[in-house]
Amino acid sequence: MLSSAIGIIAGFGAVVFYSALSGASWLFLHWLLHYNPPLPAGEGVRRASAGFARPWAVPLVVGFGGLVSGLLVFLFAPEAEGHGTDAAIRAVHENPRSIRVRTVIVKIVASALTIGSGGSGGREGPTAQISAGFGSLLSRLLNLSPADGRIAVSVGIGSGIGAIFKAPLGGAVLAAEILYRDDIEVETIIPAIIASILSYAVFGAFEGFKPLFGYVHSYVLQDPVSLVWFALIGVVSGLIGLLYSKGFYGIADLFGKLPVSRFFRPAIGATGVGLLALAVPEVLSTGYGWVQQGLDRNALMHMSLAVVLLLPFLRILATGLSIGSGGSGGIFGPGIVIGAFVGGGIWRLLEPIGRGVPHDPTAFVVVGMMACFGSISRAPLAIMLMVAEMTSSIEIVAPAMLAVGLGTLIVRRSDDTIYRSQLRTRAESRAHRLQFGMPFLSSVAVSEMMKAPLVVLDVDDTVEKGIAQLRSAEVPGAPVVDRHGIFVGTVNEPQLAGVEEGHPERTLEHYVDVTAPTVPSNSALDAALDALGNTHESWVSVLDSGRRVVGIVKPGDIVRGYRRALASSTRRLSSLAGDAEPTEVPVGQGAPVAGRAIRDASLPRGTIVVSITRDKGLIFAEADTILKPGDLVSALVLPGSVDHFRWLMGAGGTGSAGLSGP
């Protein structure tokens, strides 16, 4: 049901943004500039205007769009800066509740202004943030566990992008693949499939179901020699993909160093795009119409060879100026355009050769799109499927696999990606590390370890009253509830102290963090630890099914719960290990094992080291773990070896070499 709700909202969100972008394009490009960019087949097919009726106005109009967008973003929601997909990925990994409704609204308007006025950007970033934002909102309203919250936001990313590109299967796979560089979030796939088809259905009901680039010429691999050319596309696409990433972020870094207010940097970048467009109009807006022309032999042959070959590089520059400067828009779309003209340029150069080179450029252009962005996005499977759906050319996937594989290998060797919020694998995900490293927490209920909050503030309390209560109870922060006792967020004392002098009479509703993580009272302790990792506070609120505050959990409660679960598990393991006795001994100064790895400590035969407590933290014992003075070692030891084990730990007992062994 959650997937269905996210999918439906993603579809309507895509419709809203598409309409806003269409309106902005009509206002800025058609009405002010008297210029119409080309449209792809799925949007009506339109050739570009022959030229600019008012060339002097092009830099002014594009720059004005960047100016208004920058002011809007940095005044109301600075997190809406740049491409929204990366922000949504970051939310999945750090705090799935963190995407504010305000951010989504600002993203829609700012992106429509940036792209609609001619800035080089894609439609997927804003759409992904709309649906991911709804997933984040559901996480807050329904008090979802951190794990379910991550799935909700991931599903939002995929279903939003799948809708705006009319590529539901690719969008579903993207939801699971885009989070990591070299891994996939398998739990997301089925919910994403449900959400993505619904978002596609809703968007298609308004905008039609015709593929974005129409029904292009099919291509069937018939000559094995042609694989050489597809391999060439893959190698070049991988290199261009690397250039896209490094160029985009290089330009972003340069803008970050400009001695100019962040409010005005997007205007400077957008003006640069306008000046560039005077020479090469193909850099304006989304560029999907130019991809459509690249799919047609006659249209591509009529384009200047210099423009075809330079367009990938000029698009990288234009996207860096538009989005890297602080403007709002996606980087997926420009990546597709860049890849299309990588393939188109290679076809133009090879077409006179004949052998293995198709008469029509479609195959080269489509494979270029797949290989270029599929490699640098580190989501090769999803992008292959999406481009196949966008061009209705599933037959071309066979030769494309070679190109995408080679391009991905090239990018992987450089360890680069266009989405900097991606983690390498699930092993780098804090949530998954906790799940695998502290498995016993799942056996302890939050309700057993939580404590009653010392302070619960009312949203209508003044800042002055709130600070007084926090200081009186000597707590750093507290949950905040409305007049009905429903949780609305949290506040902390340092934050309130910063505004106390200027606005002591203001109510707390102005300063509540509505994105603060919480944990359901019926969940296990691993969910609480997950939630603690998503906040800067040293505590999280525990809510019942009616979103009322019933307790709080601190790191100390987690440790107590883990020690309880560990002791219980050790007793169970002891029963399985025959006569082994659970033993807990501190490592003393000068102990024989101090400074040695467990595997080299000559522990008694049959000894199983279960865990080590160090500096109030728990360590999952491994063979390479170095034992240090002060460590509290929990182990299973055979009865006749307990004294020797204690002696090795420096806690008394007697040494006996005959008891030592592997």
Query: Are 189 and 283 part of one and the same domain?
Result: yes
pLDDT band per the 50, 70, 90 thresholds, residue 642: confident
Q: Residue 457 has which token pair?
A: 């503030």
**pLDDT confidence of 372, banded at 50, 70, 90?**
very high
420 within domain boundaries: no
On whether the CB atoms of residues 213 and 391 are closer than 8 A, the answer is yes
State residue 616's pLDDT score.
63
Q: According to the model, what pLDDT value does residue 659 have?
A: 40
- Asked if residue 592 and residue 521 are part of one domain, the reply reads no
Domain boundary residue among 414, 448, 463?
A: 414
Query: Is 29 or 493 the better-scoring residue by pLDDT?
Result: 29
Question: How large a percentage of the chain has pLDDT more than 90?
Answer: 63
pLDDT at 419: 94
Is residue 347 a part of any domain in this protein?
Answer: yes
- Report pLDDT for 444: 86
CATH number at residue 470: 3.10.580.10
Specify if 566 maps to a domain. no
pLDDT of residue 527: 86
Q: Report helix, strand or coil for 626.
A: strand
- Whole-number pLDDT of residue 436: 59
At 500 the pLDDT is 57
Mean pLDDT for 10-14 is 95
Residue 654 has pLDDT above 80, yes or no: no
Q: How confident is the model at residue 367 (pLDDT cuts 50, 70, 90)?
A: very high
Instruction: Please give the average per-residue pLDDT across 90-109, as a whole number.
Output: 91
Residues 447 and 396 both lie in one domain: no
pLDDT above 80: residue 230 = yes
Residue 267: inside a domain = yes
pLDDT at 572: 59
336 and 229 within one domain:
yes
Q: How many CB atoms lie within 10 A of CB 205?
A: 11
Same domain, 585 and 547: no
Neighbours of 460 (CB within 10 A): 12
**pLDDT for the residue numbered 56:** 95
Give me the pLDDT at residue 574, please: 56
Evaluate whether residue 565 is within a structural domain: no
Express each pLDDT in 302-339 by its tens digit: 999 999 999 999 999 999 999 999 999 999 999 999 99
Percent of the chain's residues with pLDDT above 70: 94
What is the C-alpha end-to-end distance of the chain, expressed in Å?
54
316-327 per-residue burial string, b: 16 or more CB within 10 A, e: under 16: bbbbbbbbbbbb
Let me know: does 377 contact 417? Beta carbons within 8 Å.
yes
Which of 558, 588, 603 is the last residue before a domain boundary? 558
Predicted local distance difference test score (pLDDT) of residue 657:
40
Range of the domain at 257: 2-414
Helix (H) or strand (E) run with residue 160 in it? helix 146-164
pLDDT in tens, 236-254: 999 999 999 999 999 999 9
In a domain, 421, yes or no: no
498 plus 601 within the same structural domain:
no
pLDDT band at 432 (very low <50, low <70, confident <90, very high): low
pLDDT at 655: 58
Tokens 């640069």 correspond to 272
- Dump pLDDT digits (tens) for 131-172: 999 999 999 989 888 889 999 999 999 999 999 999 999 999
d(C-alpha 382, C-alpha 375), whole Å: 11
Q: Are residues 448 and 304 in the same domain?
A: no
pLDDT in tens, 541-587: 999 989 999 999 998 888 788 777 777 666 655 554 556 677 888 99
Tokens 């040293």, located at residue:
538
Residue 74 sits in the same domain as residue 216: yes
Arithmetic mean of pLDDT over the chain: 89
Q: What is the token pair recorded at 257?
A: 């160093």
Range in 125-129, 263-267, 454-458, 591-595 with the lowest mean pLDDT:
125-129
Asked if residue 348 and residue 248 are part of one domain, the reply reads: yes
CATH number at residue 643: 3.30.70.1450
381 and 346 within one domain: yes
Last residue of a domain, one of 514, 531, 558: 558
Domain CATH code at residue 327 = 1.10.3080.10
Name the pTM for this structure.
Answer: 0.81
Residue 432, domain member (yes or no): no
Indicate the burial class of 473 (C-beta count within 10 angstroms; 0-12, 13-18, 19 or more).
exposed
State the total domains in the chain.
Answer: 3
Q: Is the pLDDT of residue 661 over 80?
A: no
Q: HEC profile for 45-93? A: CECCCCCCCCHHHHHHHHHHHHHHHHHHHHHHCHHHCECHHHHHHHHHH
Q: Do 442 and 390 sit in the same domain of this protein? A: no
Residue 190: pLDDT band with limits 50, 70, 90: very high
CB 39 within 8 A of CB 284: no
pLDDT at position 529 is 84
Q: Are residues 162 and 111 in the same domain?
A: yes
> Above 70 in pLDDT, residue 289?
yes
According to the model, what pLDDT value does residue 524 have? 87
Q: Pick the more confident residue, 218 or 325.
A: 325
Domain-embedded: residue 334 = yes
Torsion of CA 67, 72, 77, 79, to 10 degrees: -20
- Report residue 434's pLDDT band, with 50, 70 and 90 as the boundaries: low
Q: Where in 424-535 does DSSP place strands (E)?
A: 457-458, 477-481, 487-492, 518-520
